Amino acid sequence: MPTVVDCPTCGKKVEWSEKNKFRPFCSERCKQIDLGAWAEEKYTIPGAIPTDPLEEDKQ
């Protein structure tokens, strides 16, 4: 039995298989909407604030 997931963009049920070239999305449109959201920085990946190596040398 194939795995079925929700499209991350619209929530439509999508079969996770090789025949779905847009997986995990249901369509090219939903895939592009998600890519656009990343490009507009609507999504972020949390991480530590980088330290400035030049500031460490001053201490």
Q: Which two tokens stand for residue 46?
A: 């949390």
Query: Annotation-wise, does 26 bind a ligand?
Result: yes
pLDDT, tens digit, 9 for 90 and up, residues 13-41: 999 999 999 999 999 999 999 999 999 98
At which residue do the structure tokens 């998600």 appear?
34
pTM score above 0.95: no
At residue 59, the pLDDT reads 52
Query: Annotation-wise, does 21 bind a ligand?
Result: no
Determine phi and psi for 4, rounding to 5 degrees. Answer: -120, 130
Distance CA 55, CA 15 (A): 51
Contact 5, 11 (CB under 8 A): no
Domains of the chain, first to last: 4-40 (3.30.50.10)
At residue 1, the pLDDT reads 80
